[in-house]
Amino acid sequence: MSLTRRDFARTSAITGAGVALAGSVGALATAPNALASTETEGAETSAQTYGGVGYGPLIPDPEGILALPAGFRYRVITHSGKTKLESDEFTPSNHDGTAAFDGPRGTTLLVNNHELKGPRANWTYPVPLTEGLVYDPAASGGCTVVEVRPDGRVAEWVGIAGTSTNCAGGSTPWGTWLTCEENSDRAGTNGMTKDHGYVFEVDPIDRRANKNPKPLKFFGRYDHEAVVIDPKRGHAYLTEDDSEPNGLFFRWTPPKGFEHGRGKFRTLADDAGVLQAPRCFDSGGKYVDDLSRATKTGTVYGVDWVDVPDRDGKTVEVRKQFGEGEITRARKLEGMWWGDGGAYIVSSYAREESPVQHDGQVWFYDPKRRTLTLKVLLGVNPDPSKDGAFDGPDNITVSPYGGLVIAEDGEGVSHLFGATDSGRTYPIARNDLNIGTEEEPEYSEFTGVTFSCDGRTLYANIQDPGIMVAITGPWKRQKRG
């Protein structure tokens, strides 16, 4: 059932939700899942800034890898070119999206994407072409499965190989990982032998289920970023990281009678279900062309859904199949995570290609109300080289201690940072590994942020050169700030 602009305006007036129009002053302090307004001029690194929120200042790491608050520690789990797989081949590079699953006998299983684009010869450590697990032997990307045992020992093996630019993805309610290709090269382009731009399912527990990888074409072919599954309604939500024009946020509705579960996606036809893009409007019924229009946290947009004409983009790329005024776009639609009954969605930044500039947004899509609410807004960082303000959110997870944990993929200094339920931000870790020079330092992005199922360990990746770390310490419930 479509939520019309008139319905949205009438519902807002009746319920007294206090919808904040884009650019207006106000916040949904009493509405479901709403956040108070956030100052976006900058950010502090001290826990005292917002009444004890966070864990205090970050302490530089003498090993030059990870700065953490007092009482926290980290352990390197995998390191490209140093640690090895069960096959005795080196761990692939360019770690990206990750999720944690409970494994047998008290183990933790982590499915780790490797964002490797183009021919295998371009990379020193591509994902090994393990027999039976290869989609396109010309492609360099894929996933590995990392097993962390109770005694601390680590094992790693290939989950899928021969895919391209495996960026983010998402876990499913039935315990598998959906890995997304952020590259849509056709066969014959850049040395590829098969079409790319698809989603694949990887089972961390049952290795046999990963044999003969099958692209889930019903999710569409485009530069995928992340995906989540609504466990109640069965919808999938997907993000696209692309520009000229800006990318889209999608909803896939399964065919009538379909029941989710392990291996069920493989049974669906390439055109199964319905893929749709959003068309947003404010409480006055005014169409919103781009999510960057929202300049205050608490801004709420209603959402209608528009069918995608050709989800495989056979002649025209999916995002270019819509005319002006038909759908709502956003720049750098990146990580997503399901929690609190809906999907948290990241728009990493917006510049000249967008109506309004910012250095990061986090939205919450409520499928019951069919609304998008702006939860976190980062103003343009005036000096990314200085430790302080955050910019460029990317991968994201919902914290068992309240709020969100976000991996930074911006300019200059790179952090893992938290955001409380009221939108306040605080640092958790800083990447101290300089891959540049002393005169011109460079710090790779954080990726793959995810908690272990028991909430005791925060796993994250430094993408370049490809390092997975496990962070432990005195986690605590975060105040709203």
Distance CA 115, CA 113 (A): 6
For the chain, what are the domain ranges? 85-116+123-185+200-215
Of 83, 87, 82, 81, residue with least CA distance to 128 = 87
Distance CA 161, CA 437 (A): 33
- Residue partners of 67: CB distance under 8 A and separation at least 6: 58, 59, 60, 61, 429, 430, 431, 432
By the 10 Å C-beta count (0-12 exposed, 13-18 middle, 19+ buried), 25 is classed as: exposed
**Which token pair is 409?**
């993929």
Q: What is the pTM of this model?
A: 0.91
Distances (CA, A) of 241 to 126, 166, 171, 413, 442: 23, 12, 19, 22, 23
pLDDT, one tens digit for every residue, the chain (481 residues): 444 444 444 444 433 332 222 222 222 222 223 232 333 333 333 333 445 789 999 999 999 999 999 999 999 999 999 999 999 999 999 999 999 999 999 999 999 999 999 999 999 999 999 999 999 999 999 999 999 999 999 999 999 999 999 999 999 999 999 999 999 999 999 999 999 999 999 999 999 999 999 999 999 999 999 999 999 999 999 999 999 999 999 999 999 999 999 999 999 999 999 999 999 999 999 999 999 999 999 999 999 999 999 999 999 999 999 999 999 999 999 999 999 999 999 999 999 999 999 999 999 999 999 999 999 999 998 888 888 789 999 999 999 999 999 999 988 899 999 999 888 899 999 999 999 999 999 999 999 999 999 999 999 999 999 999 999 999 999 876 5
**Which token pair is 178?**
């959906």
* Nearest-5° Cα angle at 376, 370 to 381: 140
- Residue partners of 309: CB distance under 8 A and separation at least 6: 321
**Which token pair is 290?**
């781009």
Distance CA 154, CA 469 (A): 12
H-state helical runs in 123-255: none
Residues in a beta bridge with 251: 237, 276
* Nearest-5° Cα angle at 266, 265 to 270: 85
SS3 360: coil
Asked whether 375 and 31 are in contact (CB, 8 A), the reply is no
What is the Cα 10 distance to its own chain's centre?
Answer: 33
Q: How many residues does the chain have?
A: 481
**Which token pair is 340?**
């609190």
